[in-house]
Amino acid sequence: MIRCHECAVRPVTVVKYLPPPHLEEFAAHLVVRSYAPGEEIFSPERKSRRVGIVRQGWVKIFSLGESGREQILELVGPGGFLGEEAVWPRVSGPPNFASALTPVEICEMSAELFRHLLSSFPLLAQAFEECLIKRLHWARELAALLALEPACRRLKKLLFYLLAERDFPLSPSVSLLASLAGLTPETVSRCLSRWRREGVIERRGRRIILCQAKI
């Protein structure tokens, strides 16, 4: 059985408030699934009926435009929650995709069972509500960035968010940054080249290093 009380990411998950007896009951229903980089986790054609907590690795949630262009909506790392749409299947949302950016392990259970546990464990419902509010704040912030900020300023804020606030373990590729910021790869490359000349960032091999004094 999965031992949630020993998990390093538990303090930032939806089970962070559960007392030991409830945590043990919750853990009894979990199954760990692994995904390889690039592997699809869910899509509009493969709608998930499960929810999950990311135990290890990073997942990107994205949508596709009519032209096939990808727009990343969120990057979900250790402790993050996946599958909230499956909890309330009658509430339809935009068709989104999720795939693994890195090797990923997700602790999963059926959405129906999770919905039942929400009604049984008020502290689980409280943490889940906090998770959704945090996700809503990020969606609003991203929408404001995409609509209001000039290209390079938008990219700088997103880069700082990834590397400084979220401690993203990878060096973001040009294509990843372009998809997240809603820019072309050429625009991203120009911004990165300018910042390197100005000392805002350093490139160490394939990694991007923020120079905090210059932010």
Q: What is the mean pLDDT of the chain?
A: 86
From 124, 111, 103, select the one nearest 82 (Cα to Cα): 111
Model confidence pLDDT, tens digit, residues 89-123: 776 666 789 999 999 999 999 999 999 999 999 99
Does the pLDDT of residue 191 top 60, yes or no? yes
pLDDT of residue 213: 52
CA gap 3, 69 in Å, rounded: 40
- 158 and 111 both lie in a single domain: no
Query: Which of 144, 168, 188 is the endpoint of a domain?
Result: 144
pLDDT of residue 214: 54
CA gap 157, 113 in Å, rounded: 38
Cβ neighbours of residue 199 closer than 8 Å, sequence gap 6 or more: 211, 214
- 178 and 85 both lie in a single domain: no
From 4, 60, 59, select the one nearest 31 (Cα to Cα): 4
- 134 and 165 both lie in a single domain: no
Model confidence pLDDT, tens digit, residues 22-48: 999 999 999 999 999 999 998 877 777
pTM: 0.84
- 135 and 207 both lie in a single domain: no
CATH of the domain at 123: 2.60.120.10
